[in-house]
Chain A
Amino acid sequence: MEELISHLLFIGRGIVLTLQLLSGGLLLGLVLGTILSILRYNGIAVGILNRIISICRGTPLILQLSFVYFAIPGFIGTKLDVSTAGIITFGLNSSAYIAEILRAGIESLPKGQFEAAKTLHIPSFHLWKDIILPQVIQHVLPAMINESIALLKETALIATIGGMDLMRKAQILGAEQFTYFMPLCIAGGYYYALVLFIETVGKKIETRGYYVKS
Chain B
Amino acid sequence: MLRVNNISKKFGQIEVLHDISLTVEKKSIFGLAGPSGSGKSTFLRCIQKLESVDSGTIEYGGKAGFMFQDFQLFPHMTVLENVIYAPKLHDKTKDHTIRAFSILEDLGIVDKTKVYPNTLSGGQKQRVALARSLMMQPQLLLCDEPTSGLDVATTLDVVSLLESIRQRDVTMVIASHDLDFLTKVSDHIVILKGGEIISQVNPKTLKNPINYLKHYY
Contact = CB atoms under 8 A, between A and B. Distances in A.
Interface of A: 110, 112-113, 115-116, 118-123, 126, 130-131, 134-135, 138, 210-214
A211 B78 CA distance: 9
B85 A116 contact: no
A119 B50 contact: yes
B70 interface: yes
Contacts of A126: 89
Contacts of A110: 70, 72
B68 A115 contact: yes
Given A126-B89, A138-B76, 17 more contacts: A110-B70, A112-B70, A113-B74, A115-B72, A118-B50, A119-B66, A120-B132, A121-B136, A122-B89, A131-B74, A134-B76, A135-B75, A210-B76, A211-B116, A212-B116, A214-B75, A214-B118
Interface in B123-147: 132-133, 136
A7 to B, nearest CB: 48
Nearest to A110: B72
27 contacts: A110-B70, A110-B72, A112-B70, A112-B72, A113-B72, A113-B74, A116-B73, A116-B74, A119-B48, A119-B64, A119-B65, A120-B86, A120-B136, A122-B89, A126-B89, A130-B85, A131-B74, A135-B74, A138-B76, A210-B116, A211-B76, A211-B118, A212-B116, A212-B118, A212-B119, A213-B118, A214-B118
Contacts of A211: 75-76, 116, 118
B90 interface: yes
Contacts of A130: 85
Contacts of A115: 50, 66, 68, 72
A121 B75 CA distance: 18
Q: Identify the 6 closest CB pairs spanning chains A and B, nearest first.
A: A214-B118, A120-B86, A116-B72, A112-B72, A119-B66, A211-B116
Interface residues of B, number: 23
A126 B88 CA distance: 12
Contacts of A212: 116, 118-119
A130 B21 CA distance: 38
A128 to B, nearest CB: 13
Nearest to B63: A121
Contacts of A135: 74-76
Interface in B77-119: 85-86, 89-90, 116-119
A112 to B, nearest CB: 4
B68 A112 contact: yes
Nearest to B69: A112
A162 to B, nearest CB: 45
B3 to A, nearest CB: 20
Nearest to B118: A214
A210 B66 CA distance: 27
Contact of B89 (A113, A123, A210, A213): A123
